Chains A and B, each alone.
Chain A
Amino acid sequence: MRRYSFSRKQLAIPYAVYLLCFVVAPLFVLMFYAFTNASGQFTFKNLTMFFTDPNTLGTLFYSLGIAFVTTLCCLLLAYPTAYILAHSQLKNKSVMLMVFIMPMWINFSLRITALKEILSLLEGNLAYHPFLNAIIGMTYDFLPFMILPIYNTIVKLDPSLAEASRDLGANEFQSFLKITLPLSLPGIISGVAMVFLPAMTNYVVLDMLYNSTYIMGSLIGSYFAAYNWHGGSMIALILLAIICIFTIFTNGFGSQDENRGGVLL
C-alpha cells in the first residue's frame, strides 16, 4: 500500500488552472478587444471616445451617484441592525441573522418582481420616481451584503474593550464612537466594497423594475447588444480600473488592523 501525499504546489494546481481559464484568459481577451477596432487593428480610439463622449461620462457620474446613495442607505440601515443583533441577549442570534439572510436564497427575479408589485401599488406608476425606485431596488437587493460583514466584525469584538472605555470615563455613546465604531471599520469597508461596486453595474434590477435609469451596466449592455464588442470592452476595462483603485484605497484602511473581520459568512 502506498500513501499518496501532495506537496503544497501540487495542491495549488487545480486553482491555478481555474484562475488561468476563467480570470487571466478572459482578461486578456477583454484587453484585446478594448484596444482594437472592428478590423482587428490596435487603436486608442475606444479609450478617447469614452472620455470625450458626454453620454458615457454622464452615465459614469450618474452611476457613481446611484452607487453612493445606495451604499449610504444600506449602511444606515445595516449598521444599527447588525449592532442590535450582535448585542442582543437572544440565545439564537443566528436565527435572527437568518431572517435577514433568507431573502438572498429566494430567486432574484421573484424577489424583484414582488418588490415591483408593491412599489406600483404604492406609487401608481413606476415611471414617476425612477431615481427613488432605483435606490429602493438596489438597497433591498444588497442589504444582506452590508449586514453580514458588519455583524461579523461587531460580534467578534472583545466586550471588555467597550467596558474598558467606560471604565476610563466614557459614557455609552462616547464609548461607541471611540471604540466600537472605529473597530468595526473593517466590516464597514467590506460591506461598502460588496455594495458600492455591484450597485454601479447591476442594471438587471433596474430593467426588471421597468426603470429608465441608465447606469454603467446598462451602457455596456447596450454596446454589446449593438455588437460593438470593442467599445463595451473598453468601458468594462475602465470599470475594472476604478474597482482596482477603490480596492487599493480601502485595503490601505483595513490593513492597519490585523483583525480583518469583514469576512462574508
Chain B
Amino acid sequence: MDHQANIIELKHIKKQFSDNGFVAVSDFNLSVKRGEFVTFLGPSGCGKTTTLRMIAGFEIPTEGEILLNGKDITKLPPHKRPINTVFQRYALFPHMNVYENIAFGLKQKKMDKDIITKKVKKVLELVDLEGFERRGVNTLSGGQQQRVAIARALVNEPEILLLDEPLGALDLKMRKEMQLELKAMHDELGITFIYVTHDQEEALTMSDKIVVMSEGRIQQVGTPEDIYNEPATVFVADFIGDSNIFNGIMTGERKARFCGAEFDCVDEFDEGTHITAVVRPEDVLFTEPSLGRIRGVVTSVIFKGIHYEITVESGKNEIVVQTVHAAKVGDRVGMNVDPDNIHLMVAEDNTNFFPATINPDYKLEYNDKILDVDLTKIIRGSSLSEEGRLMDSNGDEIDRRRTKILASISPQNITMTDDIREGMVDGYISNLIYKGDHYSYVIHTDLEQDFVVDDEYLWNMDDHVGLIMPVDKMSFSVKR
C-alpha cells in the first residue's frame, strides 16, 4: 500500500502487561488515512485506551509494529513523536498559567519567544479563550480547562491528535457543544484525530471511521452508517443503538427463520446455516394481527418524546419497537420487517441468546424457572438493599421491569434429555446437521425461540426433548 495516504498503521499489535499478565489488546490491525477522524469505541476495559497509549508512546507493544508515515515508531519515546494527546482529566500543569501551559511544548522546541506568543494567541482564539493567557488553570471551569488542554496539544501542530475520552468529565449540554466544536476544529485544521470513547452517540456524531472494540479485539471498522446499519457481529449490534437479536437458521435462498416465522432477507447464506438476526427497533412495522408475520401482545409502552418505545411479547421472544404511533398495553398486534432491514450474520459459534427477566424477588427467571445467579454480579456496581431490593451504584432502585438481561449459552453446554420436566425448556428437533464429529441440532421451542445444541449422539427429527442448561455455563449482558 502507498504510505502517502496512510498516516499511521498498526500491524498485529498485542499488548500484554508484564505485572499481571493481562492481555489488553491482541491482533490489532488498523490503518488511518491522513486527515481522518477515527474513533475507538468500546466498553471500559476493551483496550481502547491502551491502544491509544501505544500510539502516543506511553506503552510499548508486546508484539507488532506501529508505522508513522511508513516509518517504524514502535519503540520511539513519546517526546520524539509528532503526536500530541488530550488527556482524560486534562492533566494541565497546576503550577503554570494558561499561557505557560500552552507554551510548554513550543518552549521545549526552543522556539523564539515572539513566535511562541503569537502561536499561543492564535490557538487561544481557535478554542475561544482570547485573553485568558494570565489566568491560573485552577480558576477555570471544566469546559475551559478542556479547551486549554486541546489548545496545548494543537499548538504543537501535531500530525496526529489523540483524545482520550476528553469530554467524559463535562455535563451533557457542554459535551454536546464540545462534540460539534471538536468536529468543526477537525474540519478546519485537517489534522488526523484519533478519539477514544465509550459513548456510542459521541462516536456516531463525530467520526469518519469507527473502530468498535471488545475484549482487546477489533469487532468492526467502518463508517458510522456501516456500523449502525450493517453490524458485523452481535456485540456491535448490541453495543451500538438498540437492537432486537434473534437466533435463527437459513431455510432457503434468501429466506431465514427466526422469532417463530420465516422472513425474506437480502443476505445470502447456505441453507441450514445458523444465523443471528438483528432488527433495529425503528425498523419493526406494526400492522393488523392477521397481516403480520409475527404476532404478539403489547406488554409495555413508554413515551420517549419523538416516538414510543413499545415492547411486544411474541411467545417468549420480546420485540422492542420504536414507532410514532401509540399502542395500549394488551393490544394484539402484527409486525413485519422489510427484508432490507433484517441484518443477518453467521452465528458466532452458534451461541444461543435468550432474554431473561427479573422476578419480583429479584431473582433471574427464564421460562418461569429461576436461574440461580447473583444479580449483583451481573449488573455492575449494584447491590441488594436491606429490604432485598436491587440498587445501582448511585443508591437508586433498579427498575426490574425495565432492565433486560440477555443470557447466552454455547451449544456444547446444552444437553438434551428425554425427561421433559428435567430441562429448562422443551421443544422439538427441527433440524439436524452432521458436523464431522458431532451433530448440530436446532430445537424449536414453544416459546417461539430456537436453540442450537451440539451433541455427539444421534437423535431423530421431531423428537420432543428437554434442554438442560447449566447456569454456570451461561453469560449475561445487561440492557436498560
A161: B residues at CB distance < 8 A: 91, 93-94
Query: In the bound complex, do residue A258 and residue B138 qualify as a contact, i.e. CB atoms below 8 Å apart?
Result: yes
User: Among residues 230 to 265 in chain A, which have CB atoms less than 8 Å away from a CB atom of chain B?
Assistant: 256-259
Q: Does A208 contact B (CB under 8 A)?
A: no
Task: Determine the distance from Cα of A178 to Cα of B85 in the docked complex, in whole angstroms.
Answer: 18
Q: Does A117 contact B (CB under 8 A)?
A: no
Query: In the bound complex, do residue A160 and residue B91 qualify as a contact, i.e. CB atoms below 8 Å apart?
Result: yes
B156: A residues at CB distance < 8 A: 168-169
Task: Determine the distance from Cα of A102 to Cα of B183 in the docked complex, in whole angstroms.
Answer: 56
- Within the complex, which residue of A163, A178, A256, A258 is in contact with B91, where a contact is CB–CB below 8 Å? A163
Q: Does B58 contact A (CB under 8 A)?
A: yes
User: For chain B, which range describes its interface: under 10, 10 to 19, 20 to 34, or 35 or more residues?
Assistant: 20 to 34
- Within the complex, which residue of B19, B79, B91, B92 is in contact with A169, where a contact is CB–CB below 8 Å? B79
Complex: chain A residue closest to B83, CB-CB: A167
Q: Does A112 contact B (CB under 8 A)?
A: no
Given A169-B105, A169-B108, A171-B79, answer yes or no on A164-B95 (Cβ-Cβ < 8 Å): no
User: Among residues 81 to 133 in chain B, which have CB atoms less than 8 Å away from a CB atom of chain A?
Assistant: 83-85, 87-89, 91-95, 104-105, 108-109
Q: Does A89 contact B (CB under 8 A)?
A: yes
A167: B residues at CB distance < 8 A: 56-58, 78-79, 83-85, 153
Query: In the bound complex, do residue B77 and residue A166 qualify as a contact, i.e. CB atoms below 8 Å apart?
Result: yes
Q: Does A58 contact B (CB under 8 A)?
A: no
Q: Does B152 contact A (CB under 8 A)?
A: yes
CB distance from A231 to the nearest CB of B (A): 45
- By CB atoms of chain B within 10 A, which of A161, A164, A168 has the most? A168
B84: A residues at CB distance < 8 A: 167-168
Q: Does A73 contact B (CB under 8 A)?
A: no
Task: Determine the distance from Cα of A164 to Cα of B96 in the docked complex, in whole angstroms.
Answer: 13
Query: In the bound complex, do residue B95 and residue A165 qualify as a contact, i.e. CB atoms below 8 Å apart?
Result: no
Complex: chain B residue closest to A258, CB-CB: B138
Q: Does A109 contact B (CB under 8 A)?
A: no
Query: In the bound complex, do residue A169 and residue B94 qualify as a contact, i.e. CB atoms below 8 Å apart?
Result: no
CB distance from A91 to the nearest CB of B (A): 9
Task: Determine the distance from Cα of A165 to Cα of B58 in the docked complex, in whole angstroms.
Answer: 12
Q: Does A170 contact B (CB under 8 A)?
A: yes
Q: Which residues in A have some Cβ–Cβ distance to B below 8 Å? A: 89, 158, 160-161, 163-171, 174, 178-179, 182-183, 256-259
The 6 closest A-B pairs by CB, nearest first: A169-B108, A168-B105, A160-B91, A164-B91, A166-B78, A167-B85
A-B contact pairs, 12 of them (CB 8 A): A89-B19, A161-B93, A161-B94, A163-B87, A165-B93, A167-B56, A168-B104, A168-B108, A168-B152, A168-B156, A258-B138, A259-B94
